[in-house]
Structures are given as structure tokens and as C-alpha cells.
């Protein structure tokens, strides 16, 4: 049951995951370089491996709801990523999946609930706060911005969230890391973007792209 | 008595195996399982290896998980989120230094300490037993003055035997003024052959606890 173009249903969620995989692969080197500056240099590679595994899974079977898609992504990321991003993103997708378990198609309110649950999952798992120079610095403004959009309009909520995540990621540059391996660098971590915040912004932008591209760009099962 | 299992989660397969190798010297008969590296042999942690490792290390008495860096903790916590309630109740993630904690946990498990006692031994290994306040015993209901007979005195194994069993009792107990339920505190006494031990206990199992210590000391902890 594929809805009209732009409808935030299971087909959209599949397009979102495929588009995420595409942009992560495209930015793989950039994420590696960012992580090399302040971490262990594997973020781009790990994320690329995780999302490639998601795409392979999607080629096998199309999830029939947003919740099913997000839960599948959570499992794959936890299993395949290997670094801190695995449990962090995995928990985010898992909690997000629970938040939209009853939705066939997301309106603005459901998008906001999904992003807030994802953000809360990351905070619970990583115990980081805003300003610690982590992916929380992208997710918190994204979740807050989604609430300010028209509650009836899912796509508007995604656009607001993606814009805020990009601004939030950009704002990690001057910060001194207080969590994860970057925190071992202390003051030397300032002056670099946080790779997790950057990948989060890419993924949230991919959600918008997937919504705007309609059913055409989806993989098997995305269309009629 | 079935020992508590230990699961060593590290970013490196070789590091996890090495810790198991060291801990095994002190933990004969204790299930020791290594979950190191990613599924494809890289540096990182694997959700599946940790999940499988918990199952492999669990004899029914529970599993204590020891980790290296932060994302190993996050992976372990994510696995716990997926376990059913009954399994999860038997798994603890120790906040401990990996090598010292694993050795102390292996000693405690071998000596018959329960899940809580093994976690405590792991966590005290570096934090230090000195930081632990001995229990407040205003009026001991049971006490004994004993003389150590075994040649090596109250070394690691007898300390673990005492603390391990005493932590399973509902009792406040001190030995020469230190916490009798703490392996590290007992070892730190450095009590040698011929030295006197003053045991004081209060609580429902006080008599049982003092009888147990008396029997062990008089039998020379099986070392005579």
C-alpha cells in the first residue's frame, strides 16, 4: 500500500534509509577525515558499512511500516557498525520505531515524536548533553525545531529538523569535546566539526530528500 | 556451587582473549568468554558477539560483563535492552578497570561469590577497598576471635572465599574492623599465619556468618 508522493509511510522510510546510505557513502571520506582529527578515524567507514548492510536487507524485504523500517535499521546498525555510533544510532532508531508504532503515515506531530524519542535514546545511551560536541548537538535542535512546524505537516517538520540539525552540527566546531574519545584531546578538539553531529545532519537531510522525491526513487516495493 | 560467568568485551579480539588468558589463571572453573572486535575482525565491538557471549557465559548464576572503552559499554547496554527481563536480571555490567577487575572478578567467582559479590570485587579492584566504609555494627550479636593457621595467611583465595560466601548472607560483618564482604578489604589486612582475626557480626545471618568464618579459619582454608 504505497501512498501518494510525499506521504511519510513505510515506503518513505525505506527511501529514507536508502538515501541515507547514499549520502553516507558519498561523504564517507569527509566523515573519516573529521573523525581522524578528533577521534579514531573510523566513523565514515563504520557508518558506510552499517548503511550498506541496511540496503542489502532492504533488497531482500521491504518493511511494511515506518516502525518496521526503523527497527530493522536499529538491528543492522547495532550489529554492523562496530564503533560507538552503532549502539547510539541503533538506540535512536529503536526508540524512534517505538514512538511511531501506531502510525501508518506520519504527520508533523508524529515526526516530532519520532525525533524526540530518537534524541532521548541517544542521550540515554551516550549520557551526553547539548554542548558536549556529540551527535546530541544535531539531534536536540532538530527535535526542538520539529515541534515548531505545522503539526499536520510531516514534511514541514522534517525540513525544520534537517535545517536545525545542520546549524547544530556546524555549531560543534568551536566546542571542546566532553564525551567519547575526542574528550581525551581536551582543548585540541576545538576547531573541528563533530563527525557524529555531521552524519546526523546528513541523515536528517536524507529524510527530507526521501519525502520530496516521492515514490519514484525508492527501491523494490517502494512503488505500486 | 556454580560460578558466575564473566564476559570480557573489548574493541580488540586479541585484547579480550588476552584478558581471558590472565583471568583464567585465577579463575579455574569460571566460565570466561571473550567478545572482542567486530564481526569481520576489525577494531570495535560487536552486538552479536556480546549477545552470544552472554548466553555462553551464563550458567544460570548470571554473568558479569567487563568492558574496555565507552562504546563497549554502550554495546553491552544495547544488548541488555534486547534481553528478556529474566535474562537481564542475571547480567551486570561492572564499572571496573578491565584487567584488574577481570582478575578480581574471576577470583571472587571461583570462591563462590554470587552475582553482587563478583561485581563488587571487580569494581573494588581499582577503586580500592580503603574507600569502602566498613559496615556500622553498633552491637554485634555474634563474635569470635580466631587464629590464622594456614601458611600463607589471608591471601587472595581465602579472602575471596570469605567475602564471596559472606556477601550471600544477610549480615553486617567485620574482620579486624574492615568489611568482611569485601575481597579487597580482607586482602588489604595482610594478615599472616599466627595472626588473630576478630570477627563481629550483626543481622539475621550473624550466627551463620561467624560459624562459616570460624570453620574456614580452623580448617586453614583447606591449605593445611
Provide the edge-to-edge strand list for the sheet that holds B142-147. B142-147, B196-202, B172-175, B178-179
Residue A215's pLDDT band (cuts 50, 70, 90) = low
pTM of the predicted protein model: 0.81
> Which residues, in sequence order, are bridge partners of residue B201?
B142, B173
Q: A184 CB near a chain B CB, below 8 Å?
A: no
Q: Is A202 a residue whose pLDDT tops 70?
A: yes
Chain B CB contacts of A86 below 8 Å: 44-45, 47, 71, 74-75, 78
Q: Is A220 a residue whose pLDDT tops 50?
A: no
Supply the pLDDT for residue B188: 85
Distance (Å, rounded) from C-alpha B197 to C-alpha B174?
Answer: 10
Distance (Å, rounded) from C-alpha A178 to C-alpha B129?
Answer: 29
H/E stretch holding A98 reads helix A85-99
> Which residues, in sequence order, are bridge partners of residue B197?
B146
Count Cα neighbours of B59 within 13 Å in the Cβ-side half-sphere: 16
Q: Which CATH number is B5-123 given?
A: 3.40.50.510
Cα→Cα distances A43→A38, A82, A193, Å: 11, 10, 13
The nearest CA of chain A is from the CA of B105 a distance in Å of 25
Interface test with B, best of A46, A82, A127, A180 (most B CBs within 10 A): A82
Supply the pLDDT for residue A2: 36
Supply the pLDDT for residue A89: 97
Cβ separation A126–B78 shorter than 8 A: no
Catalytic pick from B5, B10, B11, B153?
Answer: B11
Does this complex have an ipTM over 0.95? no
- Which phi and psi (to 5°) does residue A218 adopt? -70, 170
Chain A CB contacts of B65 below 8 Å: none
**What is the CATH superfamily name and number for domain B142-222?**
HPr-like (3.30.1340.10)
Distance (Å, rounded) from C-alpha A178 to C-alpha A86?
Answer: 19
Distance (Å, rounded) from C-alpha B118 to C-alpha B182?
Answer: 10
CATH 3.40.50.510 domain range(s) in chain B: 5-123
Interface test with A, best of B36, B38, B68, B95 (most A CBs within 10 A): B38
Which of B56, B68, B48, B61 has its CA nearest to residue B91?
Answer: B61
* Average pLDDT value over all residues in chain B: 91
Residue that is written with C-alpha cell 511519510 in the block = A8
Distance (Å, rounded) from C-alpha B37 to C-alpha B59?
Answer: 24
H/E stretch holding B43 reads none
Supply the pLDDT for residue A222: 40
Q: What is the 8-class DSSP label of residue B64?
A: E
Supply the pLDDT for residue A5: 53
H/E stretch holding B175 reads strand B172-175
Residue A66's pLDDT band (cuts 50, 70, 90) = very high
Q: Is A29 a residue whose pLDDT tops 50?
A: yes
Q: Which residues contact B177 (CB under 8 A, 6 or more apart)?
A: B134, B198
b/e per residue, B120-152, with b = 16+ CB within 10 A? bbbbbbebebeebebbebeebebebebebebee
* SS3 assignment, position A8: coil
Sign of CA dihedral A60, A61, A66, A68: negative
B155 is catalytic: no
How far is residue B26 CA from its own chain's centroid? 12
Distance (Å, rounded) from C-alpha B63 to C-alpha B69?
Answer: 19
**Domains identified in chain A and CATH numbers:** 10-214 (1.25.40.340)
Q: Is A185 a residue whose pLDDT tops 60?
A: yes
Q: The C-alpha cell of A54 is what?
A: 541496511
Q: The C-alpha cell of A4 is what?
A: 501518494
Supply the pLDDT for residue B184: 79
Residue A151's pLDDT band (cuts 50, 70, 90) = very high
CATH 3.30.1340.10 domain range(s) in chain B: 142-222
Question: pLDDT tens for residues A33-62?
Answer: 999 999 889 999 999 999 999 999 999 999
Q: Is A4 a residue whose pLDDT tops 90?
A: no
- Digitized pLDDT (tens) for each residue of chain B, 224 residues in all: 789 999 999 999 999 999 999 999 888 899 999 999 999 899 999 999 999 999 999 989 999 999 998 889 999 999 998 899 999 999 999 999 999 999 999 988 988 888 988 998 899 887 765 556 788 888 889 999 999 999 999 988 888 889 888 888 899 999 999 999 888 788 889 899 999 999 999 999 999 999 999 999 999 998 88
What is the DSSP pairing of strand B196-202 with strand B172-175? antiparallel
What is the DSSP pairing of strand B178-179 with strand B172-175? antiparallel
For range A19-30, the mean pLDDT = 98
Provide the edge-to-edge strand list for the sheet that holds B5-10. B32-36, B5-10, B63-67, B91-93
Supply the pLDDT for residue B130: 59
Amino acid at each position: 500500500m504505497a501512498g501518494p508522493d510525499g506521504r511519510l509511510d513505510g515506503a518513505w522510510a525505506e527511501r529514507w534509509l536508502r538515501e541515507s546510505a547514499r549520502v553516507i557513502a558519498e561523504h564517507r571520506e569527509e566523515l573519516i577525515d573529521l573523525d581522524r582529527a578528533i577521534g579514531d578515524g573510523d566513523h565514515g567507514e563504520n557508518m558506510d558499512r552499517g548503511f550498506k548492510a541496511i540496503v542489502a536487507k532492504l533488497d531482500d524485504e521491504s518493511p511494511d511500516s515506518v516502525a518496521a523500517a526503523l527497527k530493522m535499521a536499529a538491528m543492522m546498525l547495532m550489529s554492523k557498525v562496530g564503533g560507538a555510533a552503532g549502539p547510539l544510532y541503533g538506540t535512536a532508531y529503536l526508540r524512534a520505531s517505538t514512538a511511531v508504532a501506531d502510525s501508518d503515515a506520519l504527520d508533523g506531530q508524529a515526526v516530532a515524536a519520532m525525533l524526540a524519542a530518537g534524541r532521548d535514546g541517544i542521550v540515554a545511551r551516550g549520557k551526553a548533553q547539548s554542548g558536549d560536541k556529540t551527535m546530541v548537538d544535531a539531534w536536540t535542535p532538530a527535535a526542538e525545531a520539529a515541534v515548531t512546524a505545522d503539526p499536520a505537516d510531516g514534511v514541514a517538520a522534517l525540513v525544520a529538523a534537517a535545517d536545525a540539525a545542520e546549524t547544530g552540527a556546524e555549531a560543534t566546531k568551536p566546542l571542546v569535546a566532553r564525551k567519547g574519545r575526542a574528550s581525551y584531546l581536551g582543548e585540541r578538539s576545538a576547531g573541528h566539526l563533530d563527525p557524529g553531529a555531521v552524519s546526523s545532519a546528513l541523515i536528517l537531510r536524507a529524510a527530507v530528500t526521501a519525502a520530496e522525491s516521492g515514490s519514484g526513487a525508492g527501491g523494490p516495493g517502494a512503488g505500486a | 556451587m556454580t560460578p558466575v560467568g564473566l564476559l570480557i568485551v573489548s574493541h580488540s579480539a586479541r585484547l579480550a582473549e588476552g584478558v581471558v588468558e590472565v583471568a583464567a589463571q585465577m579463575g579455574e572453573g569460571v566460565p570466561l568468554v571473550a567478545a572482542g572486535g567486530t564481526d569481520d575482525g576489525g577494531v570495535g565491538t560487536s552486538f552479536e558477539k556480546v549477545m552470544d557471549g552472554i548466553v555462553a557465559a551464563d550458567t544460570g548464576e548470571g554473568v558479569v560483563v567487563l568492558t574496555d572503552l565507552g562504546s563497549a559499554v554502550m554495546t553491552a547496554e544495547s544488548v541488555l535492552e534486547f534481553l528478556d527481563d529474566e535474562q537481564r536480571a542475571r547480567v551486570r555490567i561492572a564499572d571496573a578497570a578491565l584487567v584488574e577487575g577481570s582478575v578480581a572478578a574471576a577470583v571472587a567467582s571461583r570462591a563462590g561469590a554470587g552475582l553482587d559479590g563478583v561485581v563488587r570485587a571487580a569494581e573494588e579492584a581499582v577503586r580500592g577497598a580503603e574507600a569502602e566504609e566498613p559496615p556500622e555494627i553498633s552491637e554485634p550479636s555474634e563474635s569470635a576471635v580466631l587464629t590464622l593457621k594456614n601458611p600463607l595467611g589471608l591471601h587472595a583465595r581465602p579472602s575471596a572465599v570469605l567475602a564471596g560466601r559472606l556477601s550471600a548472607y544477610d549480615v553486617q560483618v567485620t574482620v579486624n574492623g574492615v568489611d568482611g564482604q569485601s575481597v579487597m578489604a580482607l586482602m588489604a589486612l595482610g594478615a599472616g599465619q599466627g595472626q588473630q582475626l576478630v570477627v563481629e557480626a550483626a543481622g539475621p545471618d550473624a550466627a551463620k556468618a561467624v560459624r562459616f568464618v570460624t570453620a574456614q579459619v580452623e580448617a586453614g582454608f583447606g591449605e593445611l
